[in-house]
A = this chain, B = another copy of it.
Amino acid sequence: MTTYQEYSKEALLALRQELEVAYGEAKEKGLKLDMSRGKPSRQQLDLSMEMLDTLNSSTPAATADGTDCRNYGGLDGLPEARALLGEIMGVPADNVLVGGNASLTIMYDIIARSMTHGVMGGVPWCKQEKIKFLCPAPGYDRHFAITGFFDIEMITVPMTADGPDMAVVEAHVCNDEAVKGIWCVPKYSNPQGVSYSDETVRRFAALTPAAADFRIFWDNAYAVHHLYDHDQDNILEILSECEKAGHPDMVYEFCSTSKISFAGAGICGVAASKGNLDFMRRSIGMQTIGPDKLNQLRHVNYFKDMAGITAHMKKHAAIVRPKFQAVLKKLDEELKGLGIASWTEPKGGYFISFEAMDGCAREIVRLCKEAGVVLTGAGAAYPYGNDPKDSNIRIAPTFPTAEEMEQAAELFVLCVKLASVRALTA
């Protein structure tokens, strides 16, 4: 196959004309699709509807030990819910606190608390000269939004096929006392779908930070979100690795059922050492009289244990997998060998990460939007929304229907070609 770069000037101009016409026609279709976020589809949400039946006016609203889940109290979350999320993360229930409907809130709160109260007795970050976070990128825009909101300086760390570039991580963490944290999505990372290798996880656990209040923010958002039954990624469990390496307090791990049960009405948890949890308990105890235990009970009633979660996630995969495959097929058919793009083929998670020609991502997203398909903003996967090469685009295949996905992918490849040819003929 001939790459666009190998085309003659005339051939490129002819191609451009052809693509401009096709794009004009595509705009006429009046598409109206929003693929900007990693949202589960209606069909996926339908999977958990029977959870709602586990709690009604004739079922008990108490746990086995008699705790009335309707009343105040139980700051740590229900023991059964702690065990369930512990299983998902591979850690003991005692190391887990279960909160409300968004793990993002726990992350935000930890950073807000670190600003005003420090980390386990350390100097509050707002009293320290400079606070920096490492941001493996492309990464999760909402992570970067939090650190950005607190005026924390964000340092981009390149991603590799094994996770963040650990040499870069080590150089910053071990030598710069201002570096207080790193954002990680260790399994089926957002947006690339990269799972950290065992060596990467061990190097994380072995970090000897310059700052005593440095923490790894381990957002295990896609712990059980495999696309395939057999070809699955698995990562080492970070809490025990940190403990083995003599750094038990160095990590917070997060998980939630937002993409297991209901995106807006799931439960979330944080796993950490007893020291970290005790420190958190103090402020959580100021902030609330306890989480929504009824919703925790619903989740426990419905999923019961890891076997329940695993069986349920297979149903998700059956819905999501064809959408990923449809996108990948289209990319393959239309863009492979043209020299203008590459993309990841994740085995789980919620995204495909697409690399356009340098300088083309913004234009592609703009073209798609003009023709009615909203993608995640170009650059969103980078700190400060600034993709230095302007090449990365996050594709979120889960929310649209299969038919919409087909239309959107069709438009997307057209826009990629058009933006590339425009750039090459500029």
Contact = CB atoms under 8 A, between A and B. Distances in A.
Given A262-B71, A295-B292, A283 B149 contact: yes
Interface string A180-191: 000000000000
Given A105-B287, A292-B100, A72 B126 contact: no
A142 B283 CA distance: 12
Interface centre among A100, A127, A293 (most CB of B within 10 A): A100
A31 interface: no
A55 B71 CA distance: 20
Interface stretch (A46-54, A171-179, A270-278): A46-54
B45 A70 contact: yes
A73 interface: yes
Contact of A262 (B100, B146, B294): B294
A389 interface: no
A391 interface: no
A314 interface: no
A258 to B, nearest CB: 8
B74 A264 contact: yes
Contacts of A291: 101, 264
A7 interface: no
A49 B61 contact: yes
A68 interface: yes
Interface in A317-361: none
Interface string A286-303: 111111111100000000
Contacts of A105: 287-288
A145 B286 CA distance: 6
Contacts of A117: 149
Given A70-B262, A265-B70, A265-B292, A50 B57 contact: yes
A57 B53 contact: yes
A127 B116 CA distance: 11
A42 B57 contact: no
A145 to B, nearest CB: 5
A2 interface: no
A141 B180 CA distance: 34
A22 interface: no
Contacts of A69: 264-265
- Assembly of this chain: how many copies? 2
Interface residues of A, number: 58
Interface string A144-158: 011001100000000
A343 to B, nearest CB: 25
Given A40-B71, A70-B45, A264 B287 contact: no
A8 interface: no
Nearest to A67: B264
Contacts of A4: none
Contacts of A55: 52
A79 to B, nearest CB: 15
Interface string A353-387: 00000000000000000000000000000000000
Contact of A292 (B45, B56, B116, B264): B264
Given A72-B264, A108-B286, A295-B295, 5 more contacts: A56-B56, A105-B287, A115-B116, A116-B126, A149-B282
24 contacts: A37-B72, A39-B73, A40-B71, A45-B61, A45-B68, A45-B70, A48-B70, A56-B56, A70-B262, A70-B265, A100-B101, A102-B288, A102-B289, A102-B290, A105-B287, A112-B112, A116-B116, A126-B127, A149-B283, A149-B286, A264-B290, A264-B291, A265-B292, A265-B293
Interface of A: 37, 39-40, 42, 45, 48-50, 52-53, 55-57, 61, 68-74, 100-102, 104-105, 108-109, 112-113, 115-117, 124, 126-127, 142, 145-146, 149-150, 258, 262-265, 282-283, 286-295
